[in-house]
Structure 1
């Protein structure tokens, strides 16, 4: 979630911009007169009417036609008034319905949040499902985003680590497992909502996720999800520990951002296998890799940017095997390679830029072989690697 997200106008805001009835009637009547005059003169032109006979006398038939015309004008004016009033009534009814829906949503929201703060893990679990359902049924995107923000905020709350299965701490251990189930349910619901296939109701699409500082020790699947323009998923300062699984396999990033800045990868797996990056951006700036596995196998980078600037690789694995890069960029500026494995085996470099400027430590596996000799201008290697044998 971005703090400067621009709020979307609600129905109440639009209602405040409606003209007053008197002004609306005047404008509508004037527009009708102008249209009628335009039609009248257009007909005169099409019928090639030259002039009015000034010697003609007013007979009974003509007088009767003028009377009918007068009543027609009055009837038309009345119809215009009725139309404007009906429009105003419809708008008031719509705003009233929205307000009622918002009031009911607020009541349900308060109940769900109270459940989420309960001491009972079972009640908290009910609150999680209630908030997810509220996000689906929200009358506008602002209320939907609020529900999603609360679920993300729950994941950001500090929690007591597992005391272990020692019989002396059995009650604390069971409570930890129960609350962990609540957290994992939120992670699962988030993934489920972003993986819904096209053609189904995808109410959460376009909403932002703020998972900054969250500990990922469960599983989130974004397999096949689409992240379009304006959306953002933030895992800044998150911790990926043993048992954590975050999958973007086959996902499509088109103009959206996924950020892992300063995240700590000490275990678990993050998979971008076969993902497509077209103008989407993924940032691992100043992230620390000490035990996790991050896969970009078969990923396609087209006009996108993946940045590991300032990252530290002291363990674990980062793999870009068989990745294809065309007019995109992968950046490891100032990265530190002191252990673990970063592999570019069978990667294809066909455009864009891959930069290891100011990187320290041994060159990633398969990189020097993949870039060839002499090095392409789009491949920027650390000065310490130049002249090294593949």
Structure 2
């Protein structure tokens, strides 16, 4: 009997059953009351007077009331009987439904048990039959679909060696095979016997059988994979309704540690999936797949191309310590939750072009070969700390709407950030071993390149709307800042320019700090505009330092700046020292502080030869040495 029956039985027990003697006692009581009433009425109202008639009418009225009350009692008893009958019918119906449900569940259990037992068979056709039996079971009974998908996933998580490894094994032994009762022969000092030949023959037969078994098992596994993904594709119509009759909604996948071959999950919808430490052999397709909740790929290995183009990750996504042996294609992918790619190894191209990261994303300690993040959008914190880019890295027109954290990253080939937009850029201790291009980039907040190293040319024709930090930076080759705009302070303290430094037509609208900077080659500051205070204290110029047509609108400090023998410093005419000049002594300038004349460009009201004379002094000083 079903579990529903006790509840119904309990409800029935709440209504007390009327004993039979109550009915007979009631009938006798009514008969006695009727007889007694007749004798009383005759004795009291049998005289025929008007007064007796009135009293008789009152008695009749009372009797009608009594009769009506009795009818009401009878109706109540009839209703009670009807309710009892209906409860009994409902009870029988529920029992029938429960029995049918129990019978169905028993039938499902029997079919499920039989099908799962078939999966344990050593014969591939039997295992295939078990898979299809479970698939039909799930199609017929929706409440068991998740359980059946779990069985399929568990089967794929069983240990398996793909045929690719088996092809490397030799199927026949080397050398001639001798059978029969023949005298033993020696080959290479070893005695061949009949037993050895028979063992070799049996081993060869076993290898062939093993290979065939592996191929059959591969067929079974590919069927299990196909059955899973067939139930994950809704194929929506224009109204967003699924049109695939095989689609099973709200499924979870647990393929932890599974070996998946040519896994094709394009256009699939899955709720939560676990691919932790899974091994993807061949191409893994996730094009336009939708992950409605969390997606776990931690420790997975993709031995072939991994294609996630236009995939949608609605929840958290984990790709920590994943190994992509071939191309990793995430172009136009959308990550709505946090995404972690820490310590990922990309052995092929990593393409995240136009990908969208709505929240935090981390590529900390990741290893890239060729990487493409062109046009990608990072709406949350983006971390590439300690990441290694072995080949070219492309971030052209990428948008970092919060912190872009590249601290300790290493770019061994070209790094292209042309047209990129940064809200807050952190390139602390970053190493650029080849060309670094930030042309047309926009730094809306702070831009910090402190202690960074540029081994090749660095291009920063960019807009710095916040504070710019280039302190203690090493530029081994030419550094190009031409036409850059610094809206706030620009800090180049203690930086070293081994190659030429180009600041032509740069606009410094805040403090410009070049204290202790070493210009080991030419330094070009033509047509530069310093709107606020500028410091070149303790700066050293080893080559030509051209400040011609430079506009200084604030205080200019060159205290203890060095002009070495090979250096020639050219300043605009119309400038005079703020303090009395001191005698020139090699290798220091003979003045400490210069202040700009508001009319320096035209030298009105000042001696126009002051600046020229300073140039001549430096030039003659050089010639004497």
Give the alignment's TM-score, normalised by structure 1. Answer: 0.73
Secondary structure at the counterpart of residue 107 of structure 2: helix
- Whole-angstrom CA distance in 2 between matches of 1:99 and 1:214: 35
1:317 aligned partner: 349
- Whole-angstrom CA distance in 2 between matches of 1:170 and 1:65: 98
Residues 60-112 of structure 1 show CA distances to partners (whole Å, capped at 9, x for unaligned) of 55444433322222222233333333333333222222221121112212221
Deviation at 1:363, TM superposition (A): 8.9
1:270 aligned partner: 306
Quick one: which of 69, 82, 87 aligns to 2:90? 87
CA contact under 8 A between 1:135 and 1:204: conserved in structure 2? Answer: no
Secondary structure at the counterpart of residue 335 of structure 1: coil
Quick one: which of 380, 384, 387 aligns to 2:405? 380
Cα separation, partners in 2 of 1:16 and 1:270, compared to 1, 3 Å:
farther
Deviation at 1:238, TM superposition (A): 0.6
Cα separation, partners in 2 of 1:128 and 1:353, compared to 1, 3 Å:
same
1:329 aligned partner: 360
Quick one: which of 78, 82, 103 aligns to 2:81? 78
Cα separation, partners in 2 of 1:237 and 1:301, compared to 1, 3 Å:
closer
Residues 131-177 of structure 1 show CA distances to partners (whole Å, capped at 9, x for unaligned) of 22223334734xx4333222222211112443228653544333322
CA contact under 8 A between 1:25 and 1:84: conserved in structure 2? Answer: no
Deviation at 1:56, TM superposition (A): 11
- Whole-angstrom CA distance in 2 between matches of 1:107 and 1:137: 15
1:20 maps to 2:10:
yes
1:36 aligned partner: none
1:107 maps to 2:146:
no
- Whole-angstrom CA distance in 2 between matches of 1:215 and 1:78: 67
Which aligned pairs between 1:129-148 and structure 2 lie closer than 5 A? Answer: 129-138=132-141, 140-141=143-144, 144-148=145-149
Residues 306-364 of structure 1 show CA distances to partners (whole Å, capped at 9, x for unaligned) of 22123233x02332112233x333222x3331x43332122234x23322244345597
Cα separation, partners in 2 of 1:225 and 1:384, compared to 1, 3 Å:
closer
CA contact under 8 A between 1:21 and 1:85: conserved in structure 2? Answer: no
Which aligned pairs between 1:187-336 and structure 2 lie closer than 5 A? Answer: 187-197=225-235, 198=242, 201=245, 204-221=248-265, 223-227=266-270, 231-241=271-281, 243-247=282-286, 249-254=287-292, 256-265=293-302, 267-278=303-314, 280-289=315-324, 291-302=325-336, 304-313=337-346, 315-325=347-357, 327-332=358-363, 334-336=364-366
CA contact under 8 A between 2:305 and 2:328: conserved in structure 1? Answer: yes
Instruction: Select the structure with the greater relative contact order (CA < 8 A; seq sep ≥ 6).
Output: 1
CA contact under 8 A between 2:5 and 2:91: conserved in structure 1? Answer: no
Deviation at 1:194, TM superposition (A): 0.8
Give the superposed CA RMSD. Answer: 3.2
- How many aligned residue pairs are there? 331
Cα separation, partners in 2 of 1:76 and 1:296, compared to 1, 3 Å:
farther
Deviation at 1:212, TM superposition (A): 0.9
Quick one: which of 354, 358, 368 aligns to 2:382? 354
Residues 243-298 of structure 1 show CA distances to partners (whole Å, capped at 9, x for unaligned) of 24232x223333x1221111112x223332223333x2221122222x13332222
- Whole-angstrom CA distance in 2 between matches of 1:139 and 1:376: 45
Secondary structure at the counterpart of residue 151 of structure 1: helix
Cα separation, partners in 2 of 1:258 and 1:343, compared to 1, 3 Å:
same
1:126 aligned partner: 129
In structure 2, stretches of 5+ residues that fail to align are 17-57, 173-206, 236-241, 411-426, 438-625
Cα separation, partners in 2 of 1:213 and 1:277, compared to 1, 3 Å:
closer
- Whole-angstrom CA distance in 2 between matches of 1:161 and 1:342: 30
- Whole-angstrom CA distance in 2 between matches of 1:83 and 1:133: 39
Structure with greater proportional helix content = 1
1:31 aligned partner: none
CA contact under 8 A between 1:25 and 1:80: conserved in structure 2? Answer: no
1:164 aligned partner: 167
In structure 1, stretches of 5+ residues that fail to align are 1-10, 27-54
1:47 aligned partner: none
Secondary structure at the counterpart of residue 119 of structure 1: coil
1:367 aligned partner: 395
Cα separation, partners in 2 of 1:127 and 1:15, compared to 1, 3 Å:
same
Secondary structure at the counterpart of residue 146 of structure 2: helix
2:450 aligned partner: none
- Whole-angstrom CA distance in 2 between matches of 1:343 and 1:245: 20
CA contact under 8 A between 1:24 and 1:84: conserved in structure 2? Answer: no
- Whole-angstrom CA distance in 1 between matches of 2:269 and 2:96: 36
CA contact under 8 A between 1:251 and 1:272: conserved in structure 2? Answer: yes
Cα separation, partners in 2 of 1:86 and 1:382, compared to 1, 3 Å:
farther
CA contact under 8 A between 2:12 and 2:87: conserved in structure 1? Answer: no
